Amino acid sequence: MNLNLTLSLLLAMPLGFLAPAAFATNDPRNPDWSTISDEAKEGFLRKAKVITRRPISVGITGTDRVTLSDGKWTHDAHFQKIDESKPVFQGTMGNELNFRDCYKFNIAAYHVDRMIGLGMVPVSVARRIGGREGALTWWLDDIMMMERERQQRKIAAPDADHWNRQMYQIRVFNELVYNTDANLTNLLIGQDWTIWLVDFSRAFRRHETLRAPGNLACIDPGIFARLKNLDPDEVRAKLKPHLISLEIKGLLARRDKIVQFVEDRLARAGESEAFCAMPPR
């Protein structure tokens, strides 16, 4: 990546989560990480030794960039440890009850992403570093820019249909996890125009209603099938370490509403209006 572009990404970050930017170790011993399984990445994040750790100066969530090595491979990760709760929080959109800003939601988002087959959220695990528990998230390689920069520079995606189909699935996912902080700096664009989603520390609200059903323009049929067939018991077992029961209940209720919304559209307008295939990743 061009050094000037890398610096512009860092300097452009707003007060909030500093998203994993482009990074590659250039170590010839490292594999092509795009071919490595999620399970292998999880194992690396959990067990690899911390070589260096430095705070990220921009942001309000006290995040760190961590370099890890297991003696064979070396790679960076993003460590976020925020865990704050307030009965009432006054934000830009008004007061929010039962406010929670928590690193655990990044891990929960990763698991929900994989359960429905989205594949847009980087691998994230729980780990204790420096005496603090937090979310250790894979540092994304080959990131070209943030969505905020793309819009500021008025850069059009080379394949509008490919781009739009990704965005449709992102909107569905943000409705599912009730992401209240889905901003333009949390959407990262790869060199091949693949989109990645980061920072869900203000997602997973307890609400059982959807924020904006109009965002459900269309959904990939495979994602819809997996969403519809999610086993509540399996969801609870997978997410129990990261979400409280009311947050899981809200997630499942929103799942039901998304499924009903799509089925109503299918009955009314047919598959051509309800479904749009997700581009291969």
Nearest to residue 215, comparing CAs of 148, 167, 147? Answer: 167
CA dist 12 → 18, 59, 148 (Å): 10, 11, 9
Q: Is 178 left (phi over 0), alpha (psi -120 to 50) or beta?
A: left
Q: Which residues contact 19 (CB under 8 A, 6 or more apart)?
A: 13, 78, 146, 185, 186, 188, 198, 199
Indicate the pTM of the whole model. 0.88
Residue scoring higher pLDDT (27 or 47):
47
**Please, which pLDDT band fits residue 95 given cuts at 50, 70 and 90?**
confident
Label residue 91 by pLDDT band (50, 70, 90).
confident
What are the residue ranges spanned by the domains of the chain? Answer: 3-274
Residue range 64-75: mean pLDDT, rounded: 95
Q: What is the DSSP string of the chain?
A: --HHHHHHHHHH--SS-----------TTS--GGGS-HHHHHHHHHHSEEEEEEE-SSSSS--EEEEEE-SS-EEEEEEE--EEEEEEEEETTEEEEEEEEETHHHHHHHHHHHHHT---S--EEEEEETTEEEEEEEPPSSEEEEHHHHHHTTPPPS-HHHHHHHHHHHHHHHHHHT-TT--GGGEEEETTS-EEE---TT---S-SS-S-GGG-S-B-HHHHHHHHT--HHHHHHHHTTTS-HHHHHHHHHHHHHHHHHHHHHHHHH-HHHHB-PPPP-
Considering the chain, what percentage of its residues have pLDDT values greater than 70? Answer: 87
At residue 160 the predicted structure's pLDDT band, cuts being 50, 70 and 90, is very high
Distance of alpha carbon 50 from its chain centroid, rounded? 23
pLDDT in tens, 96-134: 888 899 999 999 999 999 999 999 999 999 999 999 999
Tell me what pLDDT residue 60 has.
Answer: 54
**pLDDT score of 28:** 47
